[in-house]
Amino acid sequence: MQQSTHSPQSQSLSASAIDSAAPLSNLQKTYAAIPRERPHTPLLDTVDAPIDLKAFSESQLITLADELRLFLLYSAGQSGGHFGANLGVIELTIALHYLLDAPQDQIVWDVGHQAYAHKVLTGRRDKLGSIRSKDGLTAFPERAESVYDTFGVGHSSTSISAGLGMSLALRYQGRTQTVACIIGDGAMTGGMAFEAMNDAVQQDADLLVILNDNDMSISCSIGGFSRHLATLWESGYQVDISDAGEPILCQRPDMQAFDRRKRHKELRDVPQLEDNLFKAIGFTYFGPFDGHNIPELLRVLSIAKQLKGPVLVHIYTTKGKGFAPAELDPVGYHAISRLPAEESEKEAVKDSLITSTPLLKYSQVFGQFLCDKAAADEKLLAITPAMEEGSGMIEFARQFPKRFFDVAIAEQHAVTLAGGMATQGVKPIVAIYSTFLQRGYDQLIHDVALQNLDVMFAVDRAGLVGEDGATHAGVFDFAFLRCVPNMVVAAPKDENECYHLLNTCYEYQGCTAVRYPRGVGTGAVIEQPVQFYPIGKAVVESVLGQDDAPNKLALLAFGTMVATAQQAAESLISDDVESPCQVHVVNMRWVKPLDTHLLETLIEQGITHIATLEEHMIMGGAGSAVNEYLLNESPAFKHNRPAILNIGIPDRFVAHGSQVEQMADCGLDVSGVVSQLQQLLK
C-alpha cells in the first residue's frame, strides 16, 4: 500500500542469532532473527546487474532467494525501513529480472515499499545500508537513481497507469519491449488502478500486470475487492496457463501447502473463478499462483510475457516471508527501526524504565481526542483511507466500530463520502496524511468546500517527514487549503494546542482542517476541560528585549515552528549587542483566517521588521498570506512599511534524510533561522 509514507507503525528489533537453516518448504529457508554481521552470500555477491542472473540455474535462483532474504534482513537491521513487503516479493523480483531484459523491458513498481530486492539486483547492493539516509538511496524507486527505476513512486495505485503510458508510447514508436506492472492487493483498491485497467482494455495494450496478493497493504486489506480475491483463493482452483498461453481451469496443486486465513466459512462455486472481476473488465486472467515458488513463477511468467493484449497474473505471497516474527505480525513489521547498539542495549532498556512518561505522538493526540469527543457526541463519524494505525485510530475503531469507516486506498472517495455524510446531520472527520490529501483535492473543493459542508480534516504528517523523502512530505497544504473559499485552517504549536484546535474545528460549523506533523510533540500536557479557541486569533507568546531598541521584530510563527521561533528570538537577543533588537514572538495558530487585527496592532506599535516562519513551502504558504494582507488590505502598512522576510522551505523538493537534517538543509533549524533574521535586521 501507501502510502508511507505511509508513516506506518514501526518495530524496533533486537536480535543476535539466526535460525540458519530451518526449512519452511523444499524451496525456502526461514529465519528467526536479524543478523548483526554481514552474512555470507556468495551467489548474491556475483550479481551486479540483472544480466548476471541469466547464467543461473533454477536451483541457483532458489539459493539466491535465500541469500537475498538474509541480506535484506541484515540490511534492515542496519538502516531500518520498509520490511515485510520486501521479504514477500523476493522470489517474484528474481523471476522478473531473470526473464525480462531490463532496463530495455520496463518493470514498474507500485508504491515502492517492496522495491529493496529490486535495488539489490540492479547494482545497488553495497549501497542498500544507506537507504533513507541523507545522500543515500531513496526509500522508493526514483528515476534519477537508476536506469532500472522506470518510474518514481511513493503513492499507491499508480503503476498500471504509468505502465500503460509506457506501453502505448512504445507501440507508437514501433518498439516491442515488455512492460510489467507489479501492484499489491491494497494498492489495487485505489480507483486509479481500475481507471487504468479499463483504459488498457480500451486501448488493447500489450501490458502485463502482476497482482501481488498478500491480503495486506499496511493494514489488512478490506472491502468487496479483498473479499473477491479471497473467493478466488478459497475456491481451491486456479486458471492455469498452457504452453500456448491458453487458460486452463484446474485444481490448485499447492492448496494443501499454503496456509491462508479463511475469510468465509463456505467455499464459492468453482465457475466463479472464471467469471472474476479482471476477466469481466477484459483482461486475460491467470492465477492464483504461489508467489514463492520460483519454478512455477518462471513457467507462468515466461509464457504470460509473450501474450498480446492486457494480461493479469494473480499471485499469492506472504508479507514478511522467511522471517518468522514478521510472518506472525505483518502489520507490526511493515517497517522497522535499525537495531540498537549491542553493548548499550541493556542500558537503553534500563533507562527507558526510569525516564518520565514518553512524549505523545501527534497521531496519539488525535486518537485521544477522537475517543473523547465521540463519547460526548454521537454525531461524530471518522473516515480514513487505509491509515487506521498511522492516524492513531485503532482505539477509536475498537470502541466505536459502527462509527469508523476505513475506505481502503481511496482518498477521493473518502472526501466525497464525508461530504455525503455531512448532508445528513452528522459530523464526519477525515483523518488523512497531508501528502495523500493532495489526491482528494478536487473533491475537497467541489464536494465539500463549494457546498460549505460541515466536514473536518485531521491532516497528519504535515511538514517534512524525514526518511520517506519528497514523496511523503506534507509541504503544500497551507497553499492548497487556504486558497479555497469557506476553508478554515489551523496549525497547532504543540500537543495541548493540537487537542484543543481539533475540538475548536470540530465545533465549528463548516469546512475545517487541523494540520499537525509526524512524530512526537514537545511534552506539553493536554489540559482539561477541553477548550474552544477564538477562530482566527493569534497569541503573543513573548516579547524579548528592550522597549527602546531601535529594531523591533515581529516573528510570526505557524504551527510547530513556534518553539523554534522562541529559541531563535532568545539567541538573537543575547547575541545582538551592536544592534539592539526587541522581538515579539507570535503563535499565529490560524493560517486562515489570519489575525489581521494583531498585524495592524503590531505595525501601529512601531514594528520595523516582520518575519514569518513555517515548515511549508515559502511559495504560496502562510507567509504569502501575510504578505497578501499587508500589501493589499492593511491600512497601517501603507503608512509604516516594515521590512518583510518569509522563512520556510525553498522552491525545491527536499531530499530524504532525518527530519533534523532536512530542517537544517532548509535553514529551518534554530541557527539557520537566526542567520536569516540577522540578515533581515541588517
> From edge to edge, which strands make up the β-sheet containing 511-517?
404-406, 380-384, 427-433, 456-462, 511-517, 487-490, 590-592
Instruction: Assign 403 a pLDDT band (cuts: 50, 70, 90).
Output: very high
Quick check: is 513 in a domain?
Answer: yes
The set of cell numbers assigned to 33 is: 532473527
Q: What does the alpha-carbon distance between residue 510 and residue 645 come to, in Å, rounded to a whole number?
A: 32
Pick the last residue of a domain from 279, 308, 337: 337
pLDDT at 562 over 90: yes
Evaluate if residue 343 carries a pLDDT over 90. Answer: no
Distance, in Å, from the CA atom of 666 to the CA atom of 647, rounded to the nearest integer, reads 9
464-479 average pLDDT score: 94
CA distance 597 to 594: 9
For residues 674 and 613, state if they share a domain.
yes
Is 502 in the same domain as 610?
Answer: no
The pLDDT of residue 36 is: 86
Q: Based on the structure, what is the number of domains in the chain?
A: 3
Residue 360 lies in a domain: no
pLDDT at 3 over 50: no
pLDDT of residue 2: 43
The CATH number for 187's domain is: 3.40.50.970
Burial of 168 by CB count in 10 Å (0-12 exposed, 13-18 middle, 19+ buried)? middle
Please give the average per-residue pLDDT across 36-61, as a whole number. 95
Strand segments, DSSP code E, in 397-510 are 404-406, 427-433, 456-462, 487-490
Pick 528 or 262 by higher pLDDT: 528
Task: Indicate if the pLDDT at residue 304 is higher than 80.
Answer: yes
Q: Is 227 a catalytic residue?
A: no
Residues 76 and 146 in one domain: yes
Using DSSP's 3-state secondary structure scheme, residue 617 falls into strand
Residue 349 confidence (pLDDT): 41
If asked whether residues 300 and 440 sit together in one domain, one would say no
Asked if residue 631 and residue 543 are part of one domain, the reply reads: yes
Residues 439 and 326 in one domain: no
Statement to judge: residues 401 and 445 lie in one domain: yes
Residue of higher predicted confidence among 415 and 7: 415
- 4 or 529, greater pLDDT: 529
Residues 331 and 460 in one domain: no
What's the pLDDT score for residue 646?
A: 98
Same structural domain, 452 and 593: no
Q: Are residues 123 and 247 in the same domain?
A: yes
pLDDT in the model for residue 628:
98
Residue 127's SS3 state is helix
Task: Give the E-state strand segments of 40-84 in sequence order.
Answer: 81-82
CA distances to 386, 418, 476 from 3, rounded to whole Å, are 9, 20, 17
Residue 403 phi, psi dihedral angles, 5° rounding: -115, 10
pLDDT band at 341 (very low <50, low <70, confident <90, very high): low
- CATH value at residue 590: 3.40.50.920
CA dist., res. 153 & res. 132, Å (int): 14
Output 201 or 351, whichever has higher pLDDT: 201
CA separation for the pair 193, 212 (Å, rounded): 14
What pLDDT, in 10s, does the model give residues 591-627?
Answer: 999 999 999 999 999 999 999 999 999 999 999 999 9
pLDDT of residue 538 exceeding 90? yes
CB under 8 Å to 173, separation ≥6 — which residues? none
Say yes or no to pLDDT of 345 above 60: no
pLDDT for the residue numbered 151: 95
Dist. CA 4–CA 283, nearest whole Å: 29
Contact at 8 Å (CB) between 489 and 590? yes
- pLDDT above 70 coverage of the chain, percent: 86
Q: Which of 67, 142, 296, 411 is catalytic?
A: 411
Q: Give mean pLDDT, residues 117-137.
A: 93
Nearest to 317 by CA among 289, 281, 357, 356: 289
Tell the burial category of 579 from Cβ atoms under 10 Å away from its Cβ (0-12, 13-18, 19+). exposed
- Residue with the larger pLDDT of the pair 233 and 415: 415
Q: Is 321 exposed, middle or buried (0-12, 13-18, 19+ CB in 10 A)?
A: buried
578 is a catalytic site residue = no
CA–chain centroid gap for 324, Å, is 25
Q: Does residue 631 belong to any structural domain of this protein?
A: yes
Mean pLDDT of all residues in 3-28: 38
Q: What pLDDT is stored for residue 20 in this prediction? A: 35
Q: Return the pLDDT at 32.
A: 80
**Cell numbers 478490506: residue:** 222
How large is the average pLDDT for residues 168-195? 94
* 5: its cell numbers: 509514507
84 pLDDT exceeds 80?
no
User: In the predicted model, is pLDDT for residue 16 greater than 50?
Assistant: no
Q: Which residue among 132, 305, 427, 439 is the active-site one?
A: 439
Number of other residues whose CB lies within 10 A of the CB of residue 192:
20
SS3 (DSSP) at 650: coil
In a domain, 525, yes or no: no
Q: Which of 129-133, 268-272, 550-554 has the largest mean confidence?
A: 550-554
Is the model's pLDDT at 202 over the cut of 70? yes
Q: Do β-strands 207-213 and 310-316 pair in parallel, antiparallel, or remain unpaired?
A: parallel
pLDDT digits (tens, 9 = 90+) for 204-218: 999 999 999 987 544
Q: DSSP readout, 575-593?
A: H-SSS-EEEEEEE--EEES
Query: How much is the pLDDT for 30?
Result: 86
Q: Is the model's pLDDT at 261 over the cut of 50? A: no
Instruction: Identify the weakest region by mean pLDDT among 35-44, 302-311, 442-451.
Output: 35-44
User: pLDDT grade, residue 336 (50/70/90)?
Assistant: low
Whole-number pLDDT of residue 230: 82
What pLDDT, on a 0 to 100 scale, did the predictor assign at position 50? Answer: 97
The pLDDT-based confidence of 263 (bands split at 50, 70, 90) is very low
Domain presence at residue 342: no
CB atoms within 10 A of CB 17: 11
* Position 542, amino acid: S
From the CB of residue 103, how many other CB atoms can be counted at a distance below 10 Å?
A: 16
* 57 lies in the same domain as 127: yes
Mean pLDDT of the chain: 88
Element (H or E) spanning 384, and its range? strand 380-384
The whole-number pLDDT of residue 229 equals 84
Residue 364 lies in a domain: no
Type of residue at 440: G
**128 within a domain of the structure (yes/no):** yes
Structure confidence at residue 77 as a pLDDT band (50, 70, 90): confident
Quick: pLDDT tens for 356-396: 568 999 999 999 999 999 999 999 999 999 999 999 999 99
Looking at the structure, do residues 103 and 29 belong to the same domain, yes or no?
yes
* Residue-wise burial string across 559-570, b where 16 or more C-beta atoms lie within 10 A, e elsewhere: bbbbbbbbbbbb
**pLDDT of amino acid 356:** 55
pLDDT at 300 over 80: yes
pLDDT of residue 24: 37
Distance CA 5, CA 435 (A): 9
Nearest to 611 by CA among 546, 560, 535, 558: 558
Rounded Cα distance, 159 and 161, in Å: 6
Does residue 411 carry a catalytic annotation? yes
Report whether 502 contacts 366 (CB < 8 A). Answer: yes
The verdict on residue 345 lying in a domain is no
Which of the following is catalytic: 29, 119, 124, 319? Answer: 319
Question: What is the extent of the structural domain holding 505?
Answer: 378-517
As given in the structure block, the three cell numbers for residue 617 are: 513551502
Q: What is the spatial distance between Cα 589 and Cα 577, in angstroms, rounded to a whole number?
A: 31
Higher per-residue pLDDT: 28 or 72: 72
CA distances from 106 to 96, 164, 187 (A): 10, 11, 19
Q: Is the pLDDT of residue 5 over 50?
A: no
pLDDT of the residue at 253: 77
Give residue 211's pLDDT.
96
